[in-house]
Each structure stands twice: as structure tokens, then as C-alpha cells.
Amino acid sequence: MEIAILQADITTLPVDAIVNAANSSLLGGGGVDGAIHRAAGPKLLEACREIRRTTLPEGLPVSQAVSTPGFNLPAKWVIHTVGPNRHAGQTDPYLLESAFHNSLQEAVQLGARTIAFPAISGGVYGWDLEEVARIGVETVDRFESSLPEACPGCLETVTFALFSDKAERCFREALDRLN
Ligand code: AR6
């Protein structure tokens, strides 16, 4: 499995699945969540409302992941997860690790071969980008080690799509430390 680091708007990537750093309401917000909803079009919000109505009346718990189609996005699916909000006292790294891990698991269940992540919790939710990068990269690495050797249809490429120079640098450094 390849890990790629890109400075890019995640909404433009022609991958099988992109991950949304959403909030528990699943009903949109700012940051990457707002950008994804704008690019996917109103059907994404409808699909999220349907999930809330049918399976998640209380909303999506922190670290869990759920998927919808990508609608107008180049990506086939959007995997919505909720990172921990440092400003709300959610400071346990395991919560962020689980958000990455559960998104990867959802991708495998969907049959996605390529997936792109933003820096979950690295914006409004106030986590240090260096920590997000370390946790993101290490979680992907551990996930890869847990996959069976012969895994047809399994993930081939995991891309981290970073908006800022700083985020890109943090992820590159985290990946270098891993290798
Ligand atoms: N492509 C890639 N990365 C992006 C994009 C984009 N189009 N837009 C922003 N980023 P944030 P969080 C980066 O705040 O911290 C929302 O309102 C951004 O620069 O989007 O998990 C939700 O509804 C930052 O590095 O997500 C929640 O309420 C990273 O994405 C809350 O924010 C994550 O920043 C979630 O906060």
C-alpha cells in the first residue's frame, strides 16, 4: 500500500473515497466539511439527513465513520468521521487514531482502492498538526500491517490531502520518520 502526501483541495481528487472531517450532526459545517458539501451538492446533505433519520438519530459519535455516495464529487464515496474536539476536552490520542482507523475500515468495506484523508481535527477542532500527522501516518501504517498479505480489492493508495504548507510539511516529516 502506498502512502502519498499532497497539497491539494480534497474535493478535487479522483479517488474512490474521500474522508470528511465532519461533526456529530452530519449536517455540514465549515472547513473541509463545508467544502465537501459545496462540491458534492445538496444531495449529500439529503443523504446525511437520511442517515440521521434512520440509523443515527443521536448523531455520529466521535471516532466513528459512516459513508455516503460522493454525488457531484469526483470521488465515488464520502466517508464521514468525527475527530475529537480539543476545545471540548477531547484530548485522548486514541480518539483521533480511531477516527483514522474506522475510516480505513469503512473504505475496505466499501471496496475502495484509493482513499484521501484531510488533517482530521487539525483545524477548528484545535489539534496540533504535528500530532495529527504522526497519528494519521502511524495509524495507516499499522492498518496496513493488519491486512492479510493477499488482499484482492484492498486499499492500494492512501493519500493525505493537505491544504496548507504547514500541514503538508508536518505530514511529510511524519512519513519520513516512519520510513
Ligand atoms: N481540502 C483539504 N483540506 C482542507 C480543505 C479542503 N478543501 N478545507 C480545509 N482543509 P477542519 P476539524 C483543512 O476545521 O478540525 C467543521 O466545521 C484545514 O486547513 O475542516 O476536524 C466540521 O463541521 C485543516 O488543516 O476540521 C466540524 O464542526 C483540516 O482540513 C469541525 O469543522 C481540518 O480542519 C471539524 O474540525
Q: How far apart are CA 108 and CA 99, in angstroms?
A: 15
- Ligand 1: distance of its center to the CA of 143 in Å? 23
Q: Are 99 and 77 in contact (CB under 8 A)?
A: no
Strands 2-7 and 17-22: unpaired
Cβ 100 under 6 angstroms from ligand 1: no
Cβ 173 under 6 angstroms from ligand 1: no
| Torsion region of 63: left, alpha or beta (phi above 0 gives left; psi -120 to 50 gives alpha) | left
Closest C-alpha to ligand 1, atom 31: 124
pLDDT at 2 over 90: yes
- Identify the domain containing residue 136 by its residue range: 2-178
pLDDT of residue 142: 96
- Ligand 1: distance of its center to the CA of 38 in Å? 13
Closest C-alpha to ligand 1, atom 21: 121
The per-residue DSSP string of 21-58 comes to EE-TT-S--SHHHHHHHHHH-HHHHHHHHHHHHHT-TT
CATH code for the domain of 173: 3.40.220.10
Closest C-alpha to ligand 1, atom 24: 123
Mean pLDDT of 9-21: 98
Ligand 1 pocket: which of 15, 32, 90, 159 to mutate (most atoms <8 Å of CB)?
Answer: 32
pLDDT of residue 146: 87
Q: b/e string for 108-139 if b means 16 or more Cβ within 10 A?
A: beeebbbbbbbbbbbbbbebebbbbbbbbbbb
pLDDT of residue 76: 98
Mean pLDDT of 64-87: 98
Residue 179's pLDDT band (cuts 50, 70, 90): confident
Cβ 118 under 6 angstroms from ligand 1: yes
Number of domains in the chain: 1
pLDDT at 73 over 90: yes
**Distance between alpha carbon 9 and the CA centroid of its chain, in Å?**
13
Give me the percent of the chain exceeding a pLDDT of 70.
Answer: 98
Maximum alpha-carbon separation in the chain:
44
ipTM beyond 0.95? Answer: yes
Q: Are 118 and 78 in contact (CB under 8 A)?
A: no
Closest C-alpha to ligand 1, atom 10: 32
Cβ 121 under 6 angstroms from ligand 1: yes
* 33 included as an active-site residue: yes
